[in-house]
Structure 1
């Protein structure tokens, strides 16, 4: 069958333009197979990265039909099924573009320096300086090693970084790839700097609190690392060590949980006062809520009362069960390391 490949092409000093190439392909052909044929048979100037062709190296990450993916993993048949079917006899099109959140060097090749610099910023290496055992390697139990399995699958393809909405609006945010690697260090029983790492990852919106929980990193990760879930684990470690006066981000999370436990859902009247106004401790924060409060009252969106949701007791029981489970797990981890 014939398929049109609509490829966004550009150089550093030119505006991007789509160029279309038509190929006779089979459904099982990978997108990388098709790009190779375009380069070898039609246009040798087309630029893209590739290496292993086997979903191991992560080199061929690009945007395929609007989402970041590995060209060696995705095939023509699967991509065509994603397209809307409108009964048209027109040759189907597959759109290919460079990854996002990184400047384009040429065509589908992007400059990944910010990606690597942000990875380096979280110090993604196991530190054993505090353990003076030079005679032998640092052993782990099978259980300790199993905690690293999912995170260790990351191939640093950049797909999560490319789709990260937080990174798009906040250039200080290190990105989901870096924080997934950070969680690997936090979870590694051989590392000697867990506490200092957590302090570092707790810094404003540069670290874990910069994540907007949009789920895009989880959706596009080709190795099911689930970066957002790993960020959540770091947040939980921090929350266990900090009270609600440590920062607004921590107060936000703790207040959210407490209000849901109390009423089954969030009482928005109290949420702003407790988080932004720090329960009347932050006068400047309270004053900042004034304009919003006036608009809500004027539009009848500020309820005078708060009705608890149905099943509040069940919600509270579930939250407390999870908290107790996490607390017991943390104690067992601490005991196993001592």
Structure 2
């Protein structure tokens, strides 16, 4: 079957342009097979990364039809099926199907599909991506784990550092200080390892502003596109639970945000906006600077008739409260 591959090509610090390549291929051919064919038989100047060809190394991560994934993992048939192409019917009037290929996002392009991964690795290094221990004076034995302890790390240990989650991360796009889903998922892997001696230190670092876990916007993109099923956002959520269990709501604004939101929903079924702004930003009048920061907004809302002077609980608030309490009880049992 004939396929048009539209590859986004560019040199460093230059505008991209799309180039089309017509291939005769099979539905079972991987995208990497097709790129190799282009490189070897049509255009030797095309640049892309590859290595293992078996979804192990993560080198061939790129955007295929707008989705960050591995070129060695996806095949022509699955990609065309996503676009609604029906292989069982043939029509001479049908257009030749197209597959678009582009470099990863949130990373500067070096050439064509090759991106500069330095920020990706720098952010990983910030979370100290290895087990730290002060017990290094024990040369007569290994640092062992039980099978049960290891099983807790199986999912996150599948990460191959391909960069797909980093490419799709909305938080990375708008906040250069955010460590990224890959780094925080790896952070949980070390944080949850009982052999690590810096448990509390890691909690404090991951709890710092929006460069840590509170920078995550919970968009779920990293979970949906991870080719190895690591679910980075789920690992970030696990760290949040540890921090929320260890801290009070007065500790920081991100912690207050989570706790105040929960308390207001439990009380009224939906959020009392007057209380939310007051409790979150000024911490019940304890933070005068925070209170003053929202005063101009409050005055503008009053002037435009947008400030709610009263609050009516939603219908079914008792059921909402019962569900939240039941969820908390189940979490405590787990």
Relative to the length of structure 2, the TM-score reads: 0.92
**Residue 314 of structure 1 is aligned with which of 312, 315, 319?**
319
1:258-283 deviations in whole A, cap 9, x for unaligned? 11221222222211111012112223
1:215-230 superposed matches below 5 A: 215-230=220-235
Please state if 1:70 is matched with 2:70. yes
- CA distance, structure 1, for counterparts of residue 329 and residue 222 of structure 2: 29
Show the 5 A alignment for 1:7-22: 7-22=7-22
Pair 322,117 (structure 1): closer, same or farther in 2 beyond 3 Å? same
Helix, strand or coil for the counterpart of 1:279?
Answer: coil
In 1, distance between residues paired with 2:56 and 2:215?
29
- Asked if the contact 1:131/1:192 (under 8 Å) is kept, the reply is no
- Secondary structure (helix, strand or coil) at the match of 1:22 reads strand
Runs of 4+ in 1 over 6 A off after TM superposition: none
How many angstroms apart in 1 are the aligned matches of 2:289 and 2:232? 35
Structure 2 counterpart of 1:201, from 195, 198, 206:
206
Q: 1:127 to 1:324 in 2, by over 3 A?
A: farther
Distance 1:172 1:199 in 2: 16
Counterpart check, 1:140 vs 2:148 = no
Corresponding position of 1:290: 295
Q: CA deviation at 1:154?
A: 0.6
Structure 1 residue 179 corresponds to structure 2 residue 181 = no
Q: Contact (CA 8 Å) 1:127, 1:191: kept in 2 or not?
A: yes
- Following superposition, the deviation at residue 206 of structure 1 comes to 0.9
Q: After superposing the two structures, state which structure 1 stretch, 166-175 or 88-97, moved more.
A: 88-97
In 2, the alpha carbon distance for the partners of 1:78 and 1:265 equals 42
| CA shift for structure 1 position 297 | 4.1
Give the distance between the partners of 1:317 and 1:182, measured in 2 at CA: 34
- TM-score relative to the length of structure 1: 0.91
- Any stretches of 5+ residues in structure 1 without a counterpart? 330-338
Q: 1:266 aligns with which of 257, 267, 271?
A: 271
The alignment covers a number of residue pairs equal to 329
Compared CA separation, residues 265 and 135, structure 1 to 2 (3 A): farther
Q: 2:34 is paired with a residue of what secondary structure?
A: helix
Match of 1:280 among 280, 285, 297: 285
1:255 alignment partner, one of 257, 260, 276: 260
The answer for the alignment partner of 2:251 in structure 1 is 246
- Candidates 153, 159, 171, aligned match of 2:164: 159
Deviates more, 1:284-293 or 1:258-267: 284-293
Distance 1:71 1:234 in 2: 31
- SS of alignment partner, residue 96 of structure 1: strand
Aligned-partner SS, 1:289: helix
Mapped contact 1:59–1:157 kept (Cα < 8 A): yes
The answer to whether 1:51 aligns with 2:51 is yes
Cα distance in 1 for residues equivalent to 2:149 and 2:317: 37
Q: Are 2:174 and 1:169 aligned?
A: yes
Question: What are structure 2's unaligned runs of at least 5 residues?
Answer: 86-90
- Paired with 2:34 and 2:162, the residues of 1 have a C-alpha distance of 20
Deviations 1:284-321 (A, max 9, x none): 32233234334444555433332323333333333334
Q: Distance in 2 between matches of 1:299 and 1:30?
A: 58
1:134-173: CA deviation from partner (whole Å, max 9, x where unpaired): 4222222222111101111111100000111111111111
RMSD: 2.1
Structure 1 residue matching 2:144: 3-state secondary structure: coil
Query: 1:257 & 1:205 partners in 2: Cα distance?
Result: 20
Distance 2:64 2:315 in 1: 44
